[in-house]
Amino acid sequence: MEQENRSYTATEEVTPEKTAKAVGSGELEVYATPAMLALMEQAAAACLAPLLKEGETSVGAQIGSTHLSPSPLGATVRATATLLSFDGRTARFAVTAEDDFGKIGEGEHTRAVVGAQRFLQRMREKKPL
């Protein structure tokens, strides 16, 4: 599949469960920054998925974002991930988010490609410190 100009947009509604107050990232009933970041990651993962080989998945490795504007309950939020580079192991994305009123966030996100079974096995082998 062609890598150039790949993008994907994920959408969700701002519900009470997605507010800063509900997730513990603030006291107000506005769209939470962690929810915005998760939607950006969701868009990036979906954008990358068709490029992966059987048995591979991607995991979030880094995200840097600015949350520019609050979104009220009931607003629709759209996060778009645009693939900047992919070398088969690491994918870099430009990510943006907007609501019904305009841009609310922007940044960059990196995803790492891993073998799903090996990744889960490494997790199972973890020992407490």
Q: Which residues are tagged catalytic?
A: 33, 41, 67
Dihedral pair phi/psi, residue 124, rounded to 5°: -65, -25
End-to-end CA distance of the chain: 43
Asked if 14 and 69 count as a contact pair (C-beta separation under 8 A), the reply is: no
Q: Is 60 annotated as a binding residue?
A: yes
Q: Is 111 annotated as a binding residue?
A: yes
> 3-class DSSP state for residue 71?
coil
CA distance 62 to 64: 7
CA distance 69 to 24: 18
Cite the annotated binding site for CoA by residue number. Answer: 60
Cite the annotated binding site by residue number. Answer: 60, 111
